[in-house]
Amino acid sequence: MEKRRFLCLSLLLLFCLSAIQAQWDAPFSHYWTVRGFYNPAFAGETEQIRTAAVYRYQWAGIDNAPQRVVLTADMPVAFLQRRHGAGIVASSEQMGSLRNTLLAGQYSFRQAWGSGALQLGLQGGIYSLQYDAGSLHLIPGGEPYERGTLQVNPAERQLADLNAGIAWSGHFYAGLSVLHLTQPAFDAVPDSIAAIGLQSDSARSSIPRSWHLLARYNIRLFSPLEIQPMVRVQSDLSVTQVQATLRLKYDKRFSGGVSWLSDDGYAFFAGATLQGLELGYAYSLHTSGVGSESKGSHELYLRCNFPLDYFKPKLQPQKSIRLL
C-alpha cells in the first residue's frame, strides 16, 4: 500500500511538471504592447519613456485557471556619445498552487542602419518559482491506529535567467530573440519530499529555451486610417506556434482587429487612446485544446508614454527686482 501511494505521488508530480512546462512564455493577445517582454532589443526604441501593462485571465469558467500579469518600462539613454536603451520587465503568473514571478533588467545598444536603427539587446533577471504540493497522507501498514500524516511544505526556487535579441525599427519593425539562454534547471519536488528520499532525476526540470520572431508593418491607405499586419512566431525547435494579427488604427486614437493563434483559436480586440493613456480589451475564442471547454479568455492592457524630461523639475520663472 505504501509503495502504491509513493507511485501515485510520483505520477502527480509528473503531471504537475507538465503543467509547469506548458506555461513558459504563454502568448498574449496584445503581444505588441509588451514586445520588450519577448525581445530586450526593443528597449529604448523610441525617444520617449514607455510603460505598458497587460493582464490576462485565461480559460474563464475553469477552476484554477491561469492568470498572468506583465509590466514593462523602457527609455533611451545616452553615454559615451552613443545611444543606448534601458528597461525593466516584471511578470507574474498563477495557476492553482503554482506561482511564478520574474523581475529583470534590460540593456540595448542602438546603431543607425539604413532608414531606421539596428538594436542589440540583453536581459538578465531572476525567476522565483513557488509550488505547493499540498498534504500527503502515508499509510505505512500495520494496525489502523499507526496511520501517520506527512505535511508537505511549498517549494521555492530562485533561478537566474538570461535573454538576448536583435531588432530593426523604422517604418516597420522586426526582431528575433532567444529566451532562457541557459535553460535554468530546478527540482520540481518540494524540499520535504526530497528529504525523505523521494527525489529522482524524473522530477528534474528546466525552463526550455525558446525562439521568438516579432514583426509589424504599417500600411497607410488614406488619412487617418492605418492598417498594421503583425506576426509572432514562437518555437522551441520541437513545437512552433504562429500568431497572426490584423490591426486597424483610426486617427491614432481608436483601434481594433483580430488575431489567429495556431492550434488555439481567435482573438478579437479593441482599444482607444484618451488624453495620452491607451487602453484596450481582447476576448479569445478557443476552438481546440483545454480552452475549448472554457468560456474564453479575457485580456486588458494599459499603455502610457512620457517625454524624456517629464520627470525633470521645471524651472520656475523669476522676476528681476530691478523691474519691480
User: How does DSSP assign 25-91, residue by residue?
Assistant: T---TTGGGGHHHH-GGGTT-SSEEEEEEEEEE-STTSTT--EEEEEEEEEEEEETTEEEEEEEEEE
- Residue 303 domain-assigned (yes or no): yes
Q: What is the pLDDT of residues 131-141, one digit of tens each?
A: 654 444 444 54
Q: Which three cell numbers stand for residue 249?
A: 488604427
Which pLDDT score is estimated for 223?
Answer: 82
- Whose cell is 487612446? That residue is 273
pLDDT (0 to 100) of residue 130 = 80
| Residue with cell string 519691480 | 324
Is 41 a member of any domain? Answer: yes
- The contacts of residue 54 (CB under 8 Å, 6+ apart) are 28, 30, 33, 34, 68, 69, 70, 299, 300, 301, 302
The pLDDT assigned to 291 comes to: 86
Tell me whether residue 145 is in a domain. Answer: no
CA distances from 202 to 185, 190, 193, 199 (A): 12, 14, 14, 8
Write down the pLDDT at residue 138. Answer: 44
pLDDT computed for residue 308 by the predictor = 82
Entry pTM = 0.80
Which amino acid is located at 188 in the chain?
Answer: A
Domain ranges, residue 55: 31-131+155-184+207-323
Do residues 188 and 17 lie in contact, with contact meaning Cβ atoms separated by under 8 Å?
A: yes
Per cent of the chain over pLDDT 70 is: 75
Q: What is the pLDDT of residues 140-172, one digit of tens each?
A: 545 555 444 444 455 678 999 999 999 999 889
> Does a structural domain hold residue 11?
no
Q: Would you give per-residue pLDDT tens digits along the chain (324 residues)?
A: 444 433 343 333 333 333 334 457 888 999 999 999 999 999 999 999 999 999 999 999 988 889 999 999 999 998 888 889 999 999 999 887 778 899 999 999 999 988 899 999 999 999 998 865 444 444 454 555 544 444 445 567 899 999 999 999 988 999 999 999 999 887 766 554 554 454 545 566 788 999 999 999 999 888 899 999 999 999 998 899 999 999 999 998 999 999 999 989 999 999 999 988 999 999 999 999 888 889 999 999 999 998 887 666 665 555 555 555
Which CATH number belongs to the domain containing residue 86 in this structure?
2.40.160
Alpha-carbon distance 239 to 187, whole Å?
24
What pLDDT was estimated at residue 222? Answer: 82
Domain count, the chain: 1
Q: Is residue 316 part of a domain?
A: yes
Residue 224: inside a domain, yes or no? yes
Examine residue 289 and state whether it is found in any structural domain, yes or no.
Answer: yes
Amino acid at 233: V
* pLDDT for 14: 33
**Is there a domain that residue 19 lies in?**
no
Would you state the pLDDT for residue 108?
Answer: 97
pLDDT at 11: 32
